[in-house]
């Protein structure tokens, strides 16, 4: 229940002071004061009061059963001697004017946690118990931050026992992006089945005995979507008396690179991986680039549809933001460009645009380069590397975009200008831009394009966009590695995670940077780059191992447990805007005002 503001109108203070003065000057009989106090204040203790000219917060019960508070003019009471158990009021603690002075009581309630009113485990004994959980303990992870409803069971040692996921691609496809209200409804319809499927695959029949904790994403993300997962986790925690671990979405993406190597090589059980087979085959070479489990400290590049951030990672909860996007994330830029080009974006704009850019590279540029190699006279002293550079300069994409922020020697990102350049190029070379306000123009399947010329031009624009975007990533990552090394920190590897990490062009480019800096580049398996339950469960495990940020079971008498999961009146402590760490002083740190509104304190603060 929110407290009334301590800043009160002058008229209330004046009235209170006048009333107090009048009471002292002309005392009122006790019986009359009792009637006046009871009828005027209706204080919940229903005790007689002496006028003291103070303001208090009166509590009332509305028709919907919720208690509300509002400031009102109240009066402190002088209790009778029998009320204090004293003799004749000797211990009434009155001042010279006969007004009761009541000492303030110390707050004895435990500070609430993010997901549980019971708060965090804080004593050494409690923390030792969490750290001593067996390696085969099951941890349930729940993810609903955007448009995927996911859950997974992972053991404390890092073995993925089961996972389940429901995608919302078909729901949002016609809108060209995620619609929050539709996403929330889809999460609500899917969450019970997803969790049940996950538990069933793991052979769990008694959650209270077989699951040691539940981890859930509490931010950042879409509030109405986050709420669905958190409410489900609260219900499970309260029902079965198991700890609940609030998880930062981007920390989960970052830490999934630390899941043991056997899981990356062997994968999840065949039944759970059936729908990922096509993805795994297409990116087999890139997946093989994962050289092992990431060890602290390391540099992380998190790239997705909503996030673009470079981090120095020195441990769980120990993050420094080296750079972040000043406007749009790279994944959002990919999706927007794909829609402007009229690409089918049912599976996401990124994969569609990457496929078209690759087509231009293989069917247009490479044949022209091969012809240039034959026609270029090669002198004897020229090496293969130099000769190839000569050929590359001769054969270029006629459409080129400026790489963002080249003049700013920071690690921050910007993609808004690149999107504008794409729109201008489409207007120039194609004469029109897809009108997203018209549903019939939102999706233009590639096979319906008018002529090879239009197709090649669209492919050239896609190729130019991807070249500029990936070069922008390369510039920032190289500088981030230089910054960290100059700080005296020797990173063990570069971790690349998030949905865009599944892009083959991005992977190959960053692998080369790793080679240049003599460090490994670690990519989580493609199915773990997008939102999933495994990363949430693992982030929970990392915190359980340190007994950091783990909260006690949701009390069974708490509103979060007693009320229905869909009850909108239940207050849920979500963190839709939640920085992963403090900003490095060398970073720009300037973002759109809309991006900083209602920002939570950075993780760890």
Dump the DSSP string for 126-139: HHHHHHT--TT-EE
The answer to whether position 298 is within a domain reads no
- How many Cβ atoms are within 10 Å of 78's Cβ, its own excluded? 22
Q: How many domains does the chain have?
A: 3
The answer to whether position 603 is within a domain reads no
pLDDT band for position 597 (cuts 50, 70, 90): low
pLDDT over 70 at 471, yes or no? yes
The answer to whether position 306 is within a domain reads no
More confident residue, 28 or 429: 429
Alpha-carbon distance of 248 to 593, in angstroms, equals: 22
Alpha-carbon distance of 78 to 31, in angstroms, equals: 12
When the pLDDT of each residue in the chain is averaged and rounded to a whole number, the result is 78
Strand partners, 154: 139, 160
Burial class (CB in 10 A: 0-12, 13-18, 19+), 282: middle
301 in Cβ contact with 499 (< 8 Å): no
pLDDT of 73 reads 34
Q: Are residues 403 and 362 part of one domain?
A: yes
Q: Are residues 240 and 135 part of one domain?
A: yes
The answer to whether position 602 is within a domain reads no
Residue-number span of the structural domain to which 9 is assigned: 1-108
Q: Are residues 252 and 133 part of one domain?
A: yes
pLDDT band for position 44 (cuts 50, 70, 90): very low
pLDDT of 387 reads 81
pLDDT over 80 at 29, yes or no? no
- Could you tell me the two tokens for 428? 């120039």
Q: Which of 54, 83, 108 is the C-terminal boundary of a domain? A: 108
Least confident of 83-87, 160-164, 283-287: 83-87
Q: What is the pLDDT of residues 227-278, one digit of tens each?
A: 999 999 999 999 999 999 999 999 999 999 999 756 655 443 333 343 344 3
Q: How far apart are the first and last CA of the chain?
A: 24
Q: Are residues 267 and 149 part of one domain?
A: yes
Q: Are residues 542 and 495 part of one domain?
A: no
Helix orientation angle between 504-517 and 451-486, rounded to the nearest 10 degrees: 30
- Could you tell me the two tokens for 209? 């005995």
pLDDT over 70 at 575, yes or no? yes
Q: What is the pLDDT of residues 535-552, one digit of tens each?
A: 999 999 999 999 999 999
pLDDT of 263 reads 63
Q: Are residues 19 and 146 part of one domain?
A: no
pLDDT over 80 at 16, yes or no? no
> For position 500, which CATH number holds?
3.30.420.40
Q: Are residues 482 and 381 part of one domain?
A: yes
513 in Cβ contact with 494 (< 8 Å): yes
Q: Are residues 276 and 193 part of one domain?
A: yes
Alpha-carbon distance of 273 to 283, in angstroms, equals: 15
CA 409, 303, 176, 189 torsion-angle sign: negative
138-164 mean pLDDT: 96
Q: Are residues 531 and 510 part of one domain?
A: no
Q: Are residues 259 and 367 part of one domain?
A: no
pLDDT band for position 371 (cuts 50, 70, 90): confident
Q: Are residues 464 and 539 part of one domain?
A: no
442 in Cβ contact with 176 (< 8 Å): yes
CA 252 and chain centroid, separation: 9
pLDDT over 50 at 220, yes or no? yes
Q: Which of 506, 522, 538 is the C-terminal boundary of a domain? A: 522
0.85 exceeded by the pTM? no
- Which distant-in-sequence residues (6+ apart) come within 8 Å of 584 by Cβ? 312, 320, 321, 322, 323, 411, 483
The answer to whether position 325 is within a domain reads yes
The answer to whether position 295 is within a domain reads no
pLDDT band for position 174 (cuts 50, 70, 90): confident
Element (H, E) at 191: helix 180-201
pLDDT of 337 reads 92
Q: What are the distances in angstroms from CA 213 to CA 156, 254, 493, 507, 539?
A: 10, 21, 30, 34, 12
The answer to whether position 113 is within a domain reads no
pLDDT over 50 at 403, yes or no? yes
Annotate 501-527 with DSSP letters as a single string: GG-HHHHHHHHHHHHHHT-EEE---HH
pLDDT over 90 at 157, yes or no? yes
Q: What percent of the chain has pLDDT over 70?
A: 70
Q: Are residues 443 and 414 part of one domain?
A: yes
pLDDT band for position 382 (cuts 50, 70, 90): confident
565-590 mean pLDDT: 87
The answer to whether position 599 is within a domain reads no
Helix orientation angle between 384-394 and 366-375, rounded to the nearest 10 degrees: 120
pLDDT of 297 reads 97
DSSP 8-state assignment for residue 500: G
pLDDT over 70 at 304, yes or no? yes
């Amino acid at each position: 229940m929110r407290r009334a503001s301590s800043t009160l109108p002058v008229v209330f203070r004046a009235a209170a002071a006048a009333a107090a003065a009048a009471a002292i000057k002309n005392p009122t009989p006790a019986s009359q004061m009792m009637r006046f106090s009871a009828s005027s204040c209706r204080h919940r203790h229903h005790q007689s009061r002496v006028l003291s000219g103070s303001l208090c917060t009166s509590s009332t019960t509305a028709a919907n059963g919720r208690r509300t508070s509002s400031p009102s003019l109240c009066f402190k009471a002088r209790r009778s001697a029998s009320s204090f158990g004293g003799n004749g009021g000797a211990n009434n603690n009155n001042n010279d004017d006969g007004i009761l002075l009541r000492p303030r009581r110390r707050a004895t309630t435990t500070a609430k946690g993010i997901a549980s009113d019971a708060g965090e485990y804080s004593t050494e004994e409690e923390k030792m118990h969490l750290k001593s959980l067996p390696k085969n303990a099951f941890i349930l992870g729940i993810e609903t931050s955007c448009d995927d409803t996911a859950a997974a069971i992972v053991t404390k040692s890092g073995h993925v026992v089961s996972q389940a996921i429901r995608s919302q691609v078909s729901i949002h496809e016609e809108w060209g992006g995620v619609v929050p209200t539709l996403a929330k409804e889809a999460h609500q319809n899917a969450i019970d089945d997803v969790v049940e499927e996950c538990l069933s695959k793991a052979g769990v029949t008694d959650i209270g005995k077989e699951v040691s904790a539940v981890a859930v994403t509490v931010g950042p993300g879409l509030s109405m979507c986050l709420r669905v997962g958190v409410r489900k986790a609260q219900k499970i925690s309260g029902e079965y008396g198991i700890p609940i671990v609030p998880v930062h979405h981007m920390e989960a993406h970052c830490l999934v690179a630390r899941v043991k190597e056997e899981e990356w090589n062997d994968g999840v059980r065949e039944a759970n991986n059936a729908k990922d087979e096509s993805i795994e085959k297409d990116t087999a070479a890139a997946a093989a680039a994962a050289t092992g489990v990431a060890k602290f400290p390391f540099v992380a590049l998190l790239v997705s549809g909503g996030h673009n951030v470079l981090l120095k990672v020195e441990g769980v909860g120990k993050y420094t933001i080296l750079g972040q996007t000043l406007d749009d994330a790279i994944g959002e830029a990919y999706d927007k460009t794909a829609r402007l080009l009229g690409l089918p974006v049912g599976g996401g704009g990124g994969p569609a645009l990457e496929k078209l850019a690759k087509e231009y590279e293989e069917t247009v540029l490479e044949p022209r380069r091969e012809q240039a190699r034959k026609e270029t006279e090669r002198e004897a002293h020229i090496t293969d590397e130099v000769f190839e550079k000569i050929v590359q300069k001769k054969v270029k994409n006629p459409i080129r975009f400026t790489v963002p922020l080249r003049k700013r020697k920071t690690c921050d990102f910007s993609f808004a200008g690149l999107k504008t350049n794409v729109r201008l190029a489409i207007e120039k070379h194609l004469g029109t831009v897809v009108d997203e306000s018209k549903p019939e123009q939102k999706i233009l399947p590639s096979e319906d394009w008018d002529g090879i010329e239009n197709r090649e031009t669209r492919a050239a624009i896609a190729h130019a966009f991807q070249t500029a975007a990936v070069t922008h990533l390369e510039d920032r990552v190289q500088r981030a590695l230089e910054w960290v090394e100059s700080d005296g920190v020797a990173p063990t590897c570069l971790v690349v995670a998030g949905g865009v990490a599944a892009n083959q062009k991005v992977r190959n480019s960053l692998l080369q940077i790793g080679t240049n800096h003599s460090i490994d580049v670690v990519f989580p398996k493609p199915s773990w780059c997008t939102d999933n339950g495994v990363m949430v469960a693992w982030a929970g495990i990392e915190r359980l191992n340190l007994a950091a940020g783990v909260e006690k079971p949701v009390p069974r008498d708490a509103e979060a447990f007693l009320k229905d999961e869909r009850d909108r009146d239940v207050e849920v402590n979500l963190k839709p805007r939640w920085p992963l760490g403090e900003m490095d002083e060398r970073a720009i740190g300037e973002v759109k005002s809309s991006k900083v509104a209602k920002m939570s304190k950075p993780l760890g603060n």
